[in-house]
Copies of this chain bind each other. A is one copy, B any other.
């Protein structure tokens, strides 16, 4: 199979050079890159895996000084050198900070820490990182009341994160923030919808290209009757404790109102389905959530059917739903399959999932990957991991399987990495 190895190498070289659009990240526009090594090592993948491997949660607490936290963490990370997550750290350190070792340890972290701090002072650092990573644009995740001024839209694309709106309206602080940021006094369902409209309008004005939400397992989007929704909103505004039915009516009502705004404004709706929050109570910060096997996307059908004109970019968290999601993308005109999320962002899972997507779903409906990163540096390593899996799958499951030529494989790569995102989000 010498040819096959050569084919892979040729494909890899090409695929590595394709610029990408990253449709989902948690990068803060004000400080998008690491100012310190701790900014990189503090990523929940490292703290949660170090904790899982045996490190006390306190060892990575924010108040611990670097000189204690970093060596303790690095010692624990020796237990995860086998993982893809660890490989991200090494690849970005090597590529962006000239780190030379294959392993980061107590003996060699200080020069790296100095390099991270020094590079952070270089002008245009964010652009430099993106260029080295061949990333064209990065979507942000912005809370509804976030100040969007000063976001550099040459690099970043704002995105309205709707979780607090759908799940937080029982909290008076959320309602107050919504009133303040929308300029609408909340008195009932009608004013709530006006406030949501004002939020979306403000986001559009700032260049937002999408609304996004993370839905818990078993979430059911019910077509809320107008009366039930009004009653639920009134109860929430009064500060009542809501019954489960009322909560459901409130949440679904807001979700549908947001979907209607997406329809009116031609914004795609990114839906990430299935994170069970705070399942592991002793876990580290951001390391407490889980997937939930056995779930079904069935609860989304009312939403998908009610808004055929809205493009829903769906991600799931559980392998038991991957093929179900594949089937949704296969028949629903308004469903796009997006990336490989979190616990499924592992080469083994990506390869199986991607193989099936490429073999059965229209190619214009596949957003290959997004980074989900908190600092720009990780985009490089995560997208490179994906590029390698993509090449592996294209060589074996597409070209070898007789589904297309090498040239078509490259055209497909460009769609998955860049072009579909540009078309779908109207960039």
Chain A residues in contact with chain B, CB under 8 A? 1-2, 4-5, 48-49, 51-54, 79-85, 87, 276, 279-283, 287-288, 290-298, 301, 304-305, 308, 318-324, 326-333, 335, 343-344, 346-349, 352, 355-356, 358-365, 388, 397-398, 401-404, 408, 412
Distance A331 CA – B361 CA, assembled complex (angstroms) = 33
Q: Beyond A48-B330, A294-B296, is A356–B362 a contact (Cβ under 8 Å)?
A: no
Q: Do B403 and A363 touch across chains, with their CB atoms under 8 A apart?
A: no
**In the bound complex, what is the Cα–Cα distance between A324 and B324 (angstroms)?**
16
Knowing A82-B363, A360-B84 touch, does A349 contact B323 (C-beta < 8 A)? yes
Interfacial chain B residues near A291, Cβ < 8 Å: 323-324, 327
Q: Which residue of B lies closest to A363 (CB)?
A: B82
Expressed in whole angstroms, the Cα–Cα distance for A118 and B344 within the complex equals 51
Chain B residue with Cβ nearest A86: B403
- Could you list 19 A-B pairs, sorted by A, with CB under 8 Å? A1-B5, A48-B331, A53-B365, A81-B363, A82-B412, A83-B359, A84-B359, A279-B298, A279-B301, A281-B305, A282-B333, A283-B331, A283-B332, A291-B327, A319-B324, A323-B343, A323-B349, A343-B360, A347-B355
A255 to B347, CA, bound (A): 37
This chain's copy number in the assembly: 3
Which residue of chain B lies nearest to A392 when distances are taken between CB atoms in the complex?
A: B401
Chain B residue nearest in CB terms to A349: B356
A305: chain B residues within 8 A (beta carbon): 280-282
- In the bound complex, how far is the Cα of B83 from the Cα of A365, in angstroms? 12
Query: Residues of B contacting A349 with CB < 8 Å?
Result: 323, 356
Residue of B nearest to A281 (CB): B305
Evaluate contact between B321 and A293: CB separation under 8 angstroms: yes
B-side contacts of A295, CB under 8 Å: 293-294, 296
Whether B348 and A352, one on each chain, are in contact in the complex, defined by CB atoms closer than 8 angstroms, is: yes
